[in-house]
Amino acid sequence: MVRGDITAEDVDVVVNAANPGLSGGGGVDGAIHAAAGAAELHAACRLLGGCAVGDAKLTPGFNLRARYIAHAVGPLWRGGDAGEAELLSSCYRRCLALADEVGARSIAFPAISTGVYGYPRRAAALVAVATLRATPAAVEVVRLVAFDDTTAALYRELLAAPAGS
């Protein structure tokens, strides 16, 4: 876990909290598009034809330090009874699978769905940590990047706890 700016991460794959159209937006998505080079990234995303909720697709990293960007589409929070946890977990698993497919050794994740999609931070952090601990992958470094102190504190707390607690 690190507190910082995901666009500055020196990893093989940076995960973008994307929308289904992969069209850019605010928050992490807007920051990644701006830092990577908006025109090039928009063009690459258009070729992918969108992305389903719970899935992820890869593009080059363009101007980022990362070689690739995994665009993960997390769920909108609808109160917790609409399959949100499984869809969010699926985002993390798909990103790890994509990283493995391209031989990545490191990946950095933002707090997917916790911005405008309204997923409660604690619930999202629980899903992220549990999924990353339970998902086998060849990736050697998995980094959770917190943009704010509240999310950083949640990650620290959850990562310090034994798995399964």
Residues serving a catalytic function are 29
Gap between the Cα atoms of 45 and 57, Å rounded: 9
**Residue 26 token pair:** 């605010």
Gap between the Cα atoms of 110 and 147, Å rounded: 8
Gap between the Cα atoms of 60 and 68, Å rounded: 4
